[in-house]
């Protein structure tokens, strides 16, 4: 596949190329033949469930693990055989790994000292870094005297101090509480973008990946399921795993009934109507079994039966989760299946369906996706 991946500043991609990396521990295949291209300036998120191999992949980039096979090419140089201390890569550790016996200043200066930089230059750089993360006032503190968010900033400053070609973030928000997390996500992105460093981050939180990254790769059991922009992955997941991993989905298992060039019709036992999509499903389906997927926010609820014979179903309101801006309706179909639908709460006291009310859920022809099971 030739895909000229362009970065945000328009420079040609392939700054970091991961080629067919395999890593096994005894009999566990932690990373299974992963290939990725990451452009200069990208913030690239590896997203996956626990045990999917994201940390292992990141640690191979940092040099703490050696792949069984494959290449890692950074800026034209194969770095697989380089020791961690030789790589132009710095990492922000999950628990930050700040040196507890050193002050903030000394922590940031640590990497610069290893380069035998003159003292005055180190001091300048440290001040510059402290300013970057807004921690000038805390230069003389020890890590234990800082809050979680402050520690994270110091860790970020320390990993940026050597101006690495590649910045690695391992679960960057893992040690923070929910509120702080949302704030720091944006702040960290601001800092990374102001420096312009290429960044690979690992997270199991899809919201975090979508907030922070401009490209995401979903990992499952050591393999990449899909990679692309957050929008691509959300709107056009290429597999059931990808669809289920990001956001919530209503799924109907079924089989292709009509497969025309500009539309397809799907029979499903899980719904009382046929499903219709206004685009051709790929021709190469010998196996007629498919899964129809539609996101809750793409469905509508009404009290009146919708027109037409496709893409609607009847049920009763089983549960309502009021989330402020919108509510999530859990609709129980006749066959017991639960469907999720979002309703925007735009009016303060709108006359919305309530518990156990009979309602219809419907969606437009281009809202659904046809996936392989």
Q: Shortest approach of ligand ATP to residue 32 CB, angstroms?
A: 10
Q: Is 90 in the site for other proteins (CB under 8 A)?
A: yes
Which one of other proteins, ligand ATP, Mg ion, none interacts with residue 203, CB within 5 to 8 A by kind? none
* Residue 267 CA: distances (Å) to CA of 175, 288, 362: 47, 10, 16
**Cβ atoms within 10 Å, residue 188:** 23
Q: Is 217 in the site for other proteins (CB under 8 A)?
A: no
Q: Is 20 in the site for other proteins (CB under 8 A)?
A: no
Stretch that binds Mg ion, among 3-11, 40-48, 49-57, 317-325 (CB under 5 A): 49-57
Q: Is 101 in the site for other proteins (CB under 8 A)?
A: yes
Q: Is 185 in the site for Mg ion (CB under 5 A)?
A: no
User: Virtual CA dihedral for 256, 366, 215, 153, nearest 10 degrees?
Assistant: -120
* Residue 26 CA: distances (Å) to CA of 101, 204, 272, 363: 37, 25, 50, 49
Which residue ranges make up the site for ligand ATP (CB under 6 A)? 25, 28, 30, 48, 50-56, 204
How does DSSP assign 211-260, residue by residue?
A: HH-SEEEEEETTEEEEEE-HHHHHHS-SSHHHHHHSS--EEEEEEEEEE-
Stretch that binds other proteins, among 4-12, 80-88, 273-281, 336-344 (CB under 8 A): 80-88
Which residue number places its CB atom closest to ligand ATP?
A: 55
Closer by beta carbon to other proteins, 89 or else 275? 89
Instruction: Scan for tokens 């452009």, then name that residue.
Output: 39
Q: Shortest approach of other proteins to residue 346 CB, angstroms?
A: 46
Which of 34, 74, 79, 89 binds other proteins (CB under 8 A)? It is 89
Q: Shortest approach of ligand ATP to residue 58 CB, angstroms?
A: 8
Q: Shortest approach of Mg ion to residue 51 CB, angstroms?
A: 8
* 358-362 sheet: strands from edge to edge: 300-302, 358-362, 312-322, 326-333, 338-344
Instruction: Scan for tokens 């006032």, then name that residue.
Output: 137
Residues that bind other proteins (CB under 8 A): 62-64, 83-85, 89-91, 93-95, 97-101, 110-111, 114-115, 158-159, 162
């Amino acid at each position: 596949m030739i895909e000229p991946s362009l970065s945000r500043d328009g420079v040609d991609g392939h700054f970091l190329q991961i080629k067919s990396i395999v890593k096994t521990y005894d009999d566990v295949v932690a990373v299974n033949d992963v290939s990725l291209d990451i452009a200069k300036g990208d913030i690239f998120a590896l997203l996956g469930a626990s045990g999917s191999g994201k940390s292992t992949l990141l640690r191979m980039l940092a040099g703490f693990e050696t792949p069984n096979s494959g290449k890692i090419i950074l800026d034209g140089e194969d770095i697989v055989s380089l020791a961690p201390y030789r790589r132009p890569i710095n990492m922000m550790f999950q628990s930050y790994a700040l040196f507890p016996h050193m002050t903030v200043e000394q922590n940031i200066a640590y990497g610069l000292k290893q380069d035998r930089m003159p003292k005055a230059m180190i001091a300048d750089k440290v001040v510059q870094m402290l300013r970057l993360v807004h921690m000038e006032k805390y230069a003389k503190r020890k890590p234990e005297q800082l809050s979680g968010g402050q520690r994270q900033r110091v860790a970020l400053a320390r990993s940026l101090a050597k101006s690495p070609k590649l910045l690695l973030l391992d679960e960057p928000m893992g040690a923070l509480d929910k509120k702080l997390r949302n704030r720091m996500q944006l702040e960290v992105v601001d800092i990374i973008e102001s420096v312009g460093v290429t960044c690979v981050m690992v997270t199991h939180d899809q919201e975090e990946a979508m907030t922070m990254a401009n490209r995401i790769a979903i990992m499952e059991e050591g393999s990449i399921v899909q990679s692309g922009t957050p929008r691509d992955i959300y709107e056009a997941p290429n597999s059931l795993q990808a669809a289920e991993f990001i956001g919530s989905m209503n799924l109907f298992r079924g089989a292709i009934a009509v497969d025309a060039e500009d539309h397809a019709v799907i029979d499903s036992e899980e719904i009382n109507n046929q499903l219709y999509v206004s685009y051709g499903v790929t021709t190469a389906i010998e196996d007629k079994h498919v899964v129809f997927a539609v996101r809750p926010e793409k469905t509508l609820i009404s009290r009146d039966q919708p027109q037409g014979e496709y893409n609607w179903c009847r049920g009763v309101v089983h549960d309502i989760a009021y989330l402020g801006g919108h509510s999530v309706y859990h609709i129980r179909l006749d066959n017991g299946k639960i469907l999720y639908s979002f309703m925007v709460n735009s009016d303060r006291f709108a006359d919305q369906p309530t518990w156990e009310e009979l309602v219809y859920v419907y969606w437009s022809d281009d809202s659904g996706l046809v996936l392989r099971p």
